[in-house]
Structure 1
């Protein structure tokens, strides 16, 4: 069984690696110092299990678990943390187990035994848990380069086009398979609806103007192209812009 160990403290990682090395039939295939590194490493090494801390810089373990659960073959997740107040959130992102530090060898062995019995398909198909209500700090997209993580605060807009959503950000754009409605629910305080097919980041709005054709369009900081504002959203957008 292939294991990825993720903890921002080197000593904690070293201890988990030693514990895993002492368990027969299990090997550590990668280490990571935060959630972002764990998500990217998982795409390279395809672990069966991720041992994950929760409180980490850049991306915490709960958000990393959310991204990992969206991959084609999600690994089993076992949280190893010093804080027990995150247990409910951990199981909302379908964690297999939740171990408190210092993790004992017996507890880790028992958790890995449970993971060995659960296939990746069973883990990904388990809808019995409560849906996660955690808000992501990144959007994950599968591209020809693998999994890309786009910081939410770098996104200019979400634009729906049939089945997929175009995510326009500072470095270009990616496609994701989500719904505009779900994105609006999750990020409604950061983005505003300007059209039935578009959500725009409030922090990048420069102004709204009327085009020669008669419709309104929105200018965004750092972008040459504009977005069409539907007639039904003009008044509401004006009110939002007055508060910016």
Structure 2
């Protein structure tokens, strides 16, 4: 599991980093010292879990946790703080755990294991199974174009990509902006599209391979397009499992 550490004290961040690095199956993919930096790091690194300090300059950790919870496909949040009076407020958010400073290794491992059960890939698999058993969705996607509203057959769609507030559908005849979010599309078409990145949903039936680009980052090769949507480390496992079944 990939871990992001958020604390305004550099020494505290380094201590937690050393502790996480000593645990099998976990690695630190980034650090942040405030809420804005944390949200940016989540977007860039796509961690599985965030170790989040409560008291920080500006927006505190509780505010950060609420903002993280509103993200599409948010990571799990574990609070780390020296102030135990925050415990009640902490559990008023979607946090999966709470650690009192100074953090001890055995407590850290226990709460990280709690965050792993169930992890996001398991939740995604359950959502996909539910969609497969009760799918009744649309056969076309509606997109606004200069010529008006166009209907794009779902079988012609190769992937959806999000860029800030906008989602673009890439299909055999081009690309168009949509008025829908990736989360809404994933919930409706979860049996036909797989999330490979916080910003990408790809057509399952058109997946050919997972590759590395020149920078060493994963990407997915799809039929009938030269475009290569990104694959984050967090979602690479699900894509590998799928490829083994195809």
Residues paired across the two proteins, number = 132
Match of 1:107 in 2: 107
Q: Distance in 2 between matches of 1:108 and 1:85?
A: 19
Aligned to 2:91: 91
Q: What's the offset of the Cα at 1:118?
A: 2.3
Give me the whole-angstrom Cα distance separating, in 1, the residues matched to 2:98 and 2:165. Answer: 29
Which residue of structure 2 lines up, in the alignment, with residue 58 of structure 1?
58
Which is higher, the Rg of structure 1 or of structure 2?
A: 1
Q: Is the 8 A contact 1:82 1:102 kept in 2?
A: yes
* C-alpha distance in structure 1 between counterparts of 2:65 and 2:165, whole Å: 17
Distance in 1 between residues matched to 2:36 and 2:82, nearest whole Å? 20
The equivalent residue for 1:23 is: 23
Conserved 8 A contact 1:36-1:58:
no
RMSD: 2.6
1:74: which partner in 2?
A: 74
CA distance, structure 1, for counterparts of residue 76 and residue 2 of structure 2: 11
Q: Deviation string for 1:71-95 (max 9, x for gaps)?
A: 1111111101000111111111111
- Distance across 2 between alignment mates of 1:87 and 1:73: 24
In structure 2, the gaps of 5 or more residues are 125-161, 167-178, 181-246
* CA shift digits 1:214-234 (9 cap, x unpaired): xxxxxxxxxxxxxxxxxxxxx
Is contact 1:43-1:146 (8 Å) kept?
no
Q: Which has the higher contact order (CA 8 A, sep 6+)?
A: 2
Give 4+ residue runs of structure 1 displaced > 2 Å after superposition. 118-123, 143-147
* Offset from partner CA, 1:148-200 (integer Å, 9 cap, x none): xxxxxxxxxxxxxxx99xxxxxxxxxxxxxxxxxxxxxxxxxxxxxxxxxxxx
1:144 equivalent to 2:167? Answer no
